[in-house]
Structure 1
């Protein structure tokens, strides 16, 4: 099923540029080059050091994410892929798997800042950027491509995909959070599909859950680890101060919400093998199990 955008966004903020009725600063924005998919990859993960170079079923995590990005770029057309890293080991590996690389500062504190730094270095500045997190190897490439098409339609300057959890998936997420409480992000949305909040806690809290369970789907929306920005939105993000709740949750997208921006969510269908992210050794093992059970979505 093709991803679909959930509604138009309108927002005016004193902290950033005014958005038009379509929710966009500029349908085109600055830049003359192809649109860009950036894969931020950092060696120094506190929970899983060297994560991009660890292997899942014989292929590194970075190799798998780059495969997603390259297929998405082909589907979206007029789009290129760039790995953004601060570590020469990751840069060397990226080049061996055929990916272009941008070296970025080790002082950058988020994948979004690394994506912005990489976009600035690009020989032809892009108009739109997808930030595809380097720990999401099973995201369908069609989701990434559709996110780019949402940006190109000019509906919003910030977009991100979400999917509704059935009860079995919600139960698995709850169980996973017992050992990895900061894995998996949920989203609360308004009636037009705009994000009201993101949290590492499971939102919303539910009264009388046993009654709600008569429906096939829970009211919980889980966030997938990628974002789309127009270049003006990304430039604004890079100069704005981190928000209070952004720092508490460790969720960079909250900076937009805390400063009054609209974030459009894109509803997507997510296969059973897609994990919320690779954050722990246990996640690596689950990824191996998923490939054994469902097959390799991106075989070499």
Structure 2
């Protein structure tokens, strides 16, 4: 199956304007923008036929083309990354059997997360969308709970059936846990990784559907698929010693830079 990776990037984020152009300092001291680091993560994935940045902003276009990315310009009316991916796919003329949305705020996404995601969608004919989930250890769970206590919207959690079809995604920490877990102890909470793989029919239908109340309340685009009865597959991925976090708020910059230093990621 041919695979297209789209990296949606917009300047006018309500929580963090200009986020794709934020500079992150790696382990060597070299600074690179968030969008470049996300693009580098995408180009490291095996089995991908094409990687494009999809944006509505001329400044992001200029920066992305400056480091060698292919850019597709999309409408400023796109409500979220999935709508932007759908428009980019149409602009490119379709022709791919799987479209991956690697959101531009997840530069620490390991290549095997995306490779496992693609395989998961290929292997489950009932699923129309797939997304990775990573089991939290105690350290990661403490980070989630700390963000919520501070009133910050941090990462997203997922709950799913025994056959790994999604039941719900939330910016709250679900399920509730009644005890404290050790830093390296596995916890019963799964961190949703902000990557999606779509079959073209589901991606093409998405912009025509109205956003439902759950999507509006949580601000999570994947809930639109679920509210319209489409199956979303949660593919469990392994960290393999790598740390993972998204850039959601300005406070996440030092957190990501510390992770890059600890992992020796330049």
TM-score with structure 2 setting the length? 0.91
C-alpha distance after superposition, 1:53-112 (max 9, x if no partner): 11111011011000011111xx114x2101000001001111111111110111111000
State which of 37, 52, 55 in structure 2 corresponds to 1:85: 55
* SS of residue matched to 2:220: coil
Whether 1:266 and 2:235 are equivalent positions in the alignment is yes
State which of 134, 140, 143 in structure 1 corresponds to 2:104: 134
Cα root mean square deviation, aligned: 1.9
* SS of residue matched to 1:159: strand
Give 1:245 deviation, angstroms. Answer: 0.6
Whether 1:223 and 2:223 are equivalent positions in the alignment is no
State which of 63, 85, 97 in structure 1 corresponds to 2:36: 63
Q: Distance in 2 between matches of 1:170 and 1:51?
A: 25
Whether 1:278 and 2:247 are equivalent positions in the alignment is yes
* SS of residue matched to 1:92: helix
Note if contact 1:164-1:217 (Cα within 8 Å) is conserved in structure 2. Answer: yes
Note if contact 1:195-1:262 (Cα within 8 Å) is conserved in structure 2. Answer: yes
Q: Distance in 1 between matches of 2:238 and 2:131?
A: 13
Query: Which ranges of structure 2 fall in alignment gaps of 5 or more residues?
Result: 26-30
Give 1:39 deviation, angstroms. Answer: 0.2
Query: Which ranges of structure 1 fall in alignment gaps of 5 or more residues?
Result: 1-27, 29-33
* SS of residue matched to 1:228: strand
Note if contact 2:19-2:34 (Cα within 8 Å) is conserved in structure 1. Answer: yes
State which of 154, 172, 184 in structure 2 corresponds to 1:183: 154
Equivalent in the alignment of 2:65: 95
Give 1:142 deviation, angstroms. Answer: 1.5
Whether 1:252 and 2:218 are equivalent positions in the alignment is no
C-alpha distance after superposition, 1:262-288 (max 9, x if no partner): 11110001244211x112221111111
Whether 1:106 and 2:79 are equivalent positions in the alignment is no
Give 1:167 deviation, angstroms. Answer: 2.0
Larger Rg: 1 or 2? Answer: 1
Whether 1:40 and 2:8 are equivalent positions in the alignment is yes
Note if contact 2:11-2:17 (Cα within 8 Å) is conserved in structure 1. Answer: yes
